[in-house]
Structure 1
Amino acid sequence: MTLSEIRDYLAAEFPQVFESNDITVDAAAGGVATMRLLPAEKHLRPGGIISGPTLMMLADAAAYAALLSLSDGAKMAVTTNLNISFLRAAPPGAPIRQSATVVKAGRRLAVVVAEAFDPAEALLAHTTMTYAMPGSDARVVS
């Protein structure tokens, strides 16, 4: 998918994340994606720093965009594992840049590494994720 297609797809399928424009997809091509978060009060935890769940969501969203940049067949990819290391506190009000790179794109599994940076390019969090890549024969069980 192209950058424009990824932006449109994410806005349509995940409006709860992308409709407020506090998260933008800056780039996505060739298995690499970059997003930017302009933190708001809703992203804070007690102590006035960006919450862990916010940083996890940002890493997962950037990884998904990186997968989509390889193939629209990644639309049904689901996170099966996410491991995040929080390295330093992210201050409120400062934009966070999240990068994600697909390091292995297999037929059934994909592995993605993502990193979050503050405006001074200090590393805030390092994340590794594994995604299940359901094929066209995959069944949804409810």
Structure 2
Amino acid sequence: MQIVMDAEALNVFLAREFPQVAGSYRVERVDPQSVTARLTVDEANLRPGGTVSGPSMFALADLVVYCAILSRIGPVALAVTTNASIDFMRKPEAGRDLIAECRLLKLGRVLAVAEAMIFSEGGAEPVARCSMTYSIPPKR
């Protein structure tokens, strides 16, 4: 699949269209096989017990899948999640950022299916795995 938006273009798009996430999430890499994004973990992402909250991990997965799709189809702000499943596999480390790696499994005209693996920065084992389906609006 051809890359239409690189990491910098995706970050500019996120800052413009979703300023509420621009400070915490950043696309770090786009290549033909995957997209990588980071959640800068701070106190707002933590829950009791010193771990990153599930909603924070889900938001990172959703963002990296969205960006993987946009990296191939361009800035389509109205592409939306239609299905999601997440497996929380181990406790993320509170003092480390989270890194999500997304692989597009299918990119069609109206649906995209992707998988995201989330890691604590520097960790070898994933802390979560997410499968998502997105609906892509028709071209005008």
TM-score of the superposition, structure 2-length normalised? Answer: 0.89
Task: Give the drift of 1:7.
Answer: 1.1
Contact 2:37 2:99 in 1 (8 A): yes
Q: Assess, with a 3 A threshold, how the Cα gap between structure 1 residues 69 and 30 changes in structure 2: closer, same or farther.
A: farther
Matched, 1:131 2:124: no
1:3 aligns with 2:16: no
Match of 1:140 in 2: none
Paired amino acid for 1:32: S
Query: Normalization by structure 1: what TM-score?
Result: 0.88
User: In the TM superposition, what whole-angstrom CA distance separates every residue of 1:74-128 from its partner, at most 9, and x where no partner exists?
Assistant: 4321000110000001121112111111110011110010000122222100000
Separation (CA, whole Å) in 2 of partners of 1:31 and 1:76: 23
Offset of residue 29 of structure 1 = 3.5
Over the aligned positions, Cα root-mean-square deviation in angstroms equals: 1.5
Shift of 1:136: 2.6
Unpaired runs of 5+ in structure 2?
none
1:69-84 paired onto structure 2 within 5 Å? 69-72=71-74, 74-84=76-86
Distance 2:138 2:75 in 1: 8
Equivalent residues in 2 for 1:1-142, closer than 5 Å: 1-18=5-22, 20=23, 22-30=24-32, 32-72=34-74, 74-118=76-120, 119-136=122-139
Matched residue SS, 1:76? coil
SS in 2 for 1:110: strand
Identical aligned pairs, as a percentage?
A: 37
